[in-house]
Amino acid sequence: EREHVMNFSPGPAKLPDEVLVQAQKDLTNYAGTGVSVMELSHRSKDFESIIQRAEQDLRSLLDIPENYKVLFMQGGGTGQFCAVPCNLMDLKPGRTADYIVTGCWSEKAAKEAEKYGSVNLVLPKTKKYTGIPPESEWNLNPDASYVFYCANETVHGVEFQFIPETNGVPLVCDMSSNILTRQVDISKFGVIFAGAQKNIGCAGCTVIIIREDLLGRALPNIPAVFCYNTMNTNNSLFNTPPTYSIYIMGLVFNWKKENGGVDGMEENSLVKSGLIYDVIDNSSGFYVCPVNIDCRSRMNVPFRIGSAEGCDVLEKKFLDQAAELGMIQLKGHRSVGGIRVSLYNAVTVEETQILADFMKDFLNKHR
């Protein structure tokens, strides 16, 4: 039994109760094998069926076309910041890639890519990530090997509500913090990657969805474990994969299928984020979300309390009182401060409503 704690963590994040209950059973005796799911050989029939089922379920949830490969890798989102340029920089001569930087994660990705080629910043440089300039103002390079963007900036709370148009240049997307929270047309992408620890499982595994014609163009000195082609040829079993993380992911995919699929996740995400944004918008400036309305994240809602100066005391009080009521992990990222509410798929509408009610109470007591 879990304590009644409401975990609004940005990641590693809450997992559905049903998933944890199943994992508890399989921990000591997986499907009658007499061994823990953690003890299964990655070459065993049992694990083979775990990884194959996970892939099939992901394919059906996201409606992934046949000419796309699914890879399970290690190294997290940060590993992919390196894997992407190593695998794709050579798609065109000149080794240059476009980066749409809308927050600290795409900023980190661009910085990593500079080690392997030249990086063109599509948007003017900024440190204040609060919006996405209109596409008409973007500086896209038609000769870029690929265009990189982050669908949801986990720290700054900036989320794309559209898929960028790249006029044929392969589009690479970091979906670490919003994969499987809305239906997307996979055929618009060259590569999608996502770490597991927010919307799809526990830390350890990173999912890659890649259009097959983009395989096989890696830089010659690429580390083998980061080579998409090598991973694909070996069905993600080139070396020992993060077996437990893949297993948990499979349980989460199954849970999503049983809970309305991606449409269900999308609907819930709108309801939950709407509850929090409504309180912010009706607080007469007591709660301040700096992000433009058209790109507010449905997954991570960052806000400050009161004016920028002197809000620290109030924010600390907010966090302390919330924690007393069982609402944890609400502290904003150390780089931006304030509060951040993360609303990944396992967080329920009920939990979010309790938080929204607390925010209203807190507002009434302190404004």
- At its nearest, how many Å lie between ligand PMP and the CB of residue 3? 25
Q: Which of 14, 69, 92, 198 is catalytic?
A: 198
Q: In which order are the strands placed within the sheet that holds 339-342?
A: 287-288, 300-305, 339-342
- Judged by CB, which is closer to ligand PMP: 88, or 109? 109
- What secondary structure letter does DSSP report for 41? -
Q: Is residue 90 annotated as part of the catalytic site, yes or no?
A: no
Q: Is residue 255 annotated as part of the catalytic site, yes or no?
A: no
- At its nearest, how many Å lie between ligand PMP and the CB of residue 300? 8
Q: In which order are the strands placed within the sheet that holds 68-73?
A: 68-73, 206-211, 191-195, 171-174, 147-150, 96-100, 118-121
- Judged by CB, which is closer to ligand PMP: 10, or 305? 10
- At its nearest, how many Å lie between ligand PMP and the CB of residue 177? 5
- 3 state DSSP class of 23: helix
- At its nearest, how many Å lie between ligand PMP and the CB of residue 127? 18
Q: Which residues, other chains included, contact 94 with Cβ-Cβ below 8 Å and sequence gap of 6+?
A: 118, 143, 145
- Judged by CB, which is closer to ligand PMP: 177, or 243? 177
- Judged by CB, which is closer to ligand PMP: 26, or 112? 112
- Cα atoms found within 13 Å of the Cα of residue 201, Cβ hemisphere only: 26
Q: Is residue 198 annotated as part of the catalytic site, yes or no?
A: yes
In this structure, how many other beta carbons lie within 10 angstroms of the beta carbon of residue 32? 6
d(CA 253, CA 270): 20
d(CA 163, CA 177): 16
Interacting residues toward ligand PMP by CB under 6 A: 11, 76-78, 105, 150, 154, 174, 176-177, 195
Q: Which of 98, 105, 256, 331 is catalytic?
A: 105
Catalytic residue set: 105, 174, 198
